[in-house]
């Protein structure tokens, strides 16, 4: 039995569909059963769905009972959290502590998650710093942890990619930041493939591994290349300084009852370079990664999550 936390999310839904197309039983913990059934589509019937919040030890015990590996694909910056969970960083830290404790109780040793490429404890962005600390805490837990750290994940439903596509299609004229930020990227199907391949690969245990493209095009180059790939004219977007956009974030956080400071830090992260070292993982997990144009084409196939089987 394999468990997934975050199965209603962009990466988590694609991963759950992929796992559910195999032979091993899959169990997910979600906050909203209807949303999970909608996101998992025809795979929902093949998955055991339990409901609850990731901060609830009893819900985590139910998720992990009898499983041999758990995937953690959650984020707290733009997802509503219980009022007792504090800000976005506290909410994530508490949830990871609860998960590690539950994994120990259930004797689940294998934990796999997706982090932020190149995340360093000295990063300027507070979310990236807190993620780097959480990654270290997970690696120090004594469990068999693998953290795959990604830049932009290419697929419909991914916040960064959806935004980029909206600019190219002319649905949004706002380019965040100067457009000169450099991004490593990876297709959704490749992240999912790496996660699945890593489950039983001991050489990935106890490691944080950057995954994705070796090339790091600028955001402006990605806009132009996407326009060519989907047969559009390259966009002439309005460049808005991030500090103007983030000025609205506290209001949106209040109205949406989102964790304090989360949206602000997530928007600011869109202006960061997303650069790491994706070479080491290639020596451990063999995979021919899609390039940008292939990833954009895969994302455009209706009814499929960027090439995920099924």
Contacts with ligand NAP by CB under 6 A lie at 6, 8-12, 31-32, 35, 53-55, 73-76, 79, 81, 114, 116, 150, 152-153, 158-160
Nearer to ligand NAP, 20 or 23 (CB): 20
CA distance 282 to 245: 37
* Residue 243 · residue 176 · CB < 8 Å: no
Would you give the distance in Å from CA 241 to the centre of its chain?
Answer: 25
In the complex, residue closest to ligand NAP by CB:
9
Tell the smallest beta-carbon distance from residue 236 to ligand NAP (Å): 25
Nearer to ligand NAP, 60 or 242 (CB): 60
Nearer to ligand NAP, 6 or 307 (CB): 6
Q: Tokens for 223?
A: 């806009």
CA distance 113 to 119: 14
Helix (H, G, I), strand (E, B) or coil at 284: helix
Tell the smallest beta-carbon distance from residue 9 to ligand NAP (Å): 2
Nearer to ligand NAP, 116 or 242 (CB): 116
Nearer to ligand NAP, 135 or 220 (CB): 135
At 22, give phi and psi (nearest 5°): -95, -165
Nearer to ligand NAP, 227 or 299 (CB): 299
* Residue 24 · residue 1 · CB < 8 Å: yes
Angle, CA 215 vertex, CA 293 and CA 284 arms, to 5°: 100
Helix-, strand-, coil-residue percentages of the chain, each rounded to 5: 45, 15, 40
Tell the smallest beta-carbon distance from residue 248 to ligand NAP (Å): 20
Q: Tokens for 156?
A: 């419909």
Tell the smallest beta-carbon distance from residue 198 to ligand NAP (Å): 14
């Amino acid at each position: 039995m394999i468990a997934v936390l975050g199965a209603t999310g962009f990466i988590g839904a694609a991963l759950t569909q992929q796992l559910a197309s195999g032979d091993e039983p899959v169990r997910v913990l979600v906050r909203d059963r209807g949303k999970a059934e909608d996101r998992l589509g025809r795979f929902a019937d093949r998955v055991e769905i339990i409901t609850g919040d990731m901060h609830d030890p009893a819900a985590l015990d139910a998720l992990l009972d009898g499983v041999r590996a758990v995937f953690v694909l959650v984020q707290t910056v733009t997802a509503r959290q219980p009022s007792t969970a504090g800000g976005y960083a506290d909410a994530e830290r508490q949830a990871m502590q609860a998960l590690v404790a539950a994994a120990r109780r259930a004797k689940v040793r294998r934990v796999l998650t997706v982090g932020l490429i190149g995340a360093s404890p000295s990063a300027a962005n507070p979310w990236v710093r807190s993620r780097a600390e959480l990654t270290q805490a997970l690696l120090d837990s004594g469990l068999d942890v693998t953290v795959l750290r990604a830049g932009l994940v290419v697929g419909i439903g991914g916040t960064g990619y959806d935004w980029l596509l909206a600019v190219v299609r002319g649905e949004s004229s706002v380019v965040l930041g100067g457009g000169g930020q450099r991004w490593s990227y990876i297709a959704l199907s490749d992240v999912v493939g790496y996660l699945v391949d890593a489950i039983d690969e001991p050489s990935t245990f106890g490691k944080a591994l950057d995954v994705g493209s070796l090339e790091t095009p600028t955001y402006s180059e990605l806009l132009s290349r996407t326009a060519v790939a989907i047969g559009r004219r390259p966009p002439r977007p309005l460049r808005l300084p991030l500090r103007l956009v983030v000025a609205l974030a506290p209001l949106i956080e209040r109205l949406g009852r989102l964790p304090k400071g989360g949206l602000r830090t997530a928007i600011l992260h869109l202006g960061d370079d997303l650069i790491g070292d994706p070479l080491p993982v290639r020596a451990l997990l063999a995979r021919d990664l899609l390039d940008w144009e292939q990833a954009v084409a895969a994302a455009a196939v209706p009814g499929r999550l960027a090439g995920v089987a099924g």
